[in-house]
Amino acid sequence: MTRSLPVLAALLMLAGVGCAGCSSTVAGQASPAGGAGVAALPETPAALEALLVREVPSGLPRVPDDELDPPAGEKSIDDVAGYAEDAADQRRVLADYGYRYGWERFWRAGNALTSVFVDQFSGSMGATSYADDLVRNDAEYYGGVPDLDPAGLPRGCAGMVVEEPDPHLGLAGPAAFSWCPHGVFTVSVAAAADTPEAARAEVAAVTAEQLARLPRG
């Protein structure tokens, strides 16, 4: 099984070469309503993994990490940089952003698919810059128009709905996306469903839960 729903790190072409002077597309830092988060920042990938959502509202079954190509689960800076055509340049960009590690998780049944990506940085500026890159690249790839103040998502997140995606891009139905910088984290959620409304509802619920599980940092 190949990875077929963004945010796809394999498709990233990070726009910036560093954080200094980066302009922000995502509207600030995301704050989940009522989410208290947890006390301490994770200091290892395993500690980060413990903070990821376990289930999704749609009830889709979890896809084992090793059934994806490349595998989901833990991501290092070399893993993420290796998805780009110029891995050395992308590694330099990620290092400048202060990338530490990330974790990816997928759920799927038939054409329905939900993904959660959480990446941790050494500071909030790197997390925001990375989220900006994800917004630009996913919007360009899928031909969607990002909403920088979307209804149903926490303030600070960007969102997008693609009602009729090109099937050659790996989406068999309407898809929704969110990108949220949250302290030192970037949270990216995507869902494909039977209807745009179902995809949007899945993304909104998963995004809110994931943000609530993370410390502010």
**Local structure of residue 167 (DSSP, 8 states):** G
What is the spatial distance between Cα 44 and Cα 121, in angstroms, rounded to a whole number? 12
For residue 111, count other CB atoms closer than 10 A to its CB. Answer: 12
Q: Is 30 within 8 Å of 185 (Cβ atoms)?
A: no
Check: pTM over 0.95? Answer yes or no.
no
Q: Is the pLDDT of residue 217 over 70?
A: no
Phi, psi torsion values for 131, nearest 5 degrees: -60, -40
Radius of gyration of the chain, Cα coordinates, nearest whole angstrom: 15
38-212: which CATH topology?
A: Protein Transport Mog1p; Chain A (3.40.1000)
List Cβ neighbours of 194 (8 Å cut-off, separation of 6 or more): 111, 112, 173, 174
Any idea where the domains of the chain sit in the sequence? 38-212
Distance from chain centroid for Cα 27: 16
Q: Which helix (H) or strand (E) holds 202?
A: helix 196-212
Mean pLDDT value across residues 90-108: 96
**Local structure of residue 27 (DSSP, 8 states):** -
Tens digit of each residue's pLDDT (9 = 90 or more) over 34-60: 444 455 899 999 999 999 999 999 999
User: Residue-wise over 52-80: b if at least 16 C-beta within 10 A, else e?
Assistant: bbeebebebeebeeeebebebbbbebebb
pLDDT of residue 37: 47
CA–CA distances in Å: residue 83 to residues 12, 76, 88, 123: 7, 11, 11, 23
pLDDT of residue 27: 59
Its sign, for the CA torsion 193, 109, 111, 134, is positive
Mean pLDDT value across residues 99-119: 96
The mean-pLDDT minimum among 10-14, 124-128, 207-211 falls in 10-14
pLDDT of residue 1: 35
pLDDT of residue 172: 77
